[in-house]
Amino acid sequence: MPYAAAKFAAAGFSQGLRAELAGTGVSVTTVLPGLVRTGSHTAARFHGRPGAEYAWFAAAASTPLLSMNAERAARAIVRAAERRRPELVLTPAAKVGVRLQGLAPATTARLLGLVARALPAAGNRPRHDVQGSRAAEQSSLPTWTTALGDRAGARFAEPRPRSGP
């Protein structure tokens, strides 16, 4: 929740800046990226049940439609800033989320509640601050599910994932 709150605050701050700078020649582009494939699943820090948390994050961060190629995202962001677009939403999943929130905020909150309950609980003996490359060792996630994310991680010098199932 702190991560989501920080993103919400950044979006609000960006909208406020856009309003305050209107007419000055300065433009503000708010970027709502969703997941971008950078290989961050191996560098992320996990708490609670690291193997289970790694599994859902690594799979999502490596899946097309849920995540986006980093170079493609960078090009889209630069284009949006050059064109002075007020907002850019990158992944199809993020676009659906933004539209759903705008049309049906209560329904969106209920759906997000269901998703939150489906995520791994901390368990009886939670672990803290486990790097993704170590959490991968505790996960039974097949390596093919993270192939796109792992390739991106190699390009961006993220820690190497484990080899396994």
Q: What tens digit of pLDDT does each residue of 65-122 get?
A: 999 999 999 999 999 999 999 999 999 999 999 999 999 999 999 999 999 899 888 8
The reported pLDDT for the residue numbered 163 is 57
Distance CA 126, CA 75 (A): 40
Work out the number of other CB atoms within 10 angstroms of the CB of residue 58. Answer: 26
The reported pLDDT for the residue numbered 156 is 87
Distance CA 24, CA 111 (A): 40
The reported pLDDT for the residue numbered 157 is 82
The reported pLDDT for the residue numbered 158 is 81
Three-state DSSP state, 90: coil
Tokens of 87: 């907002």
The DSSP bridge partners found for residue 130 are: 46
- pLDDT above 90 for 152: yes
> Percentage of residues in the chain with pLDDT exceeding 90?
75
The reported pLDDT for the residue numbered 161 is 63
The reported pLDDT for the residue numbered 162 is 59
- φ, ψ of residue 32 to 5 degrees: the values are -110, 90
The reported pLDDT for the residue numbered 26 is 95
Q: What is the mean pLDDT of the chain?
A: 91
Tokens of 36: 């971008």
Q: What angle do CA 45, 61, 34 make, to 5 degrees?
A: 100
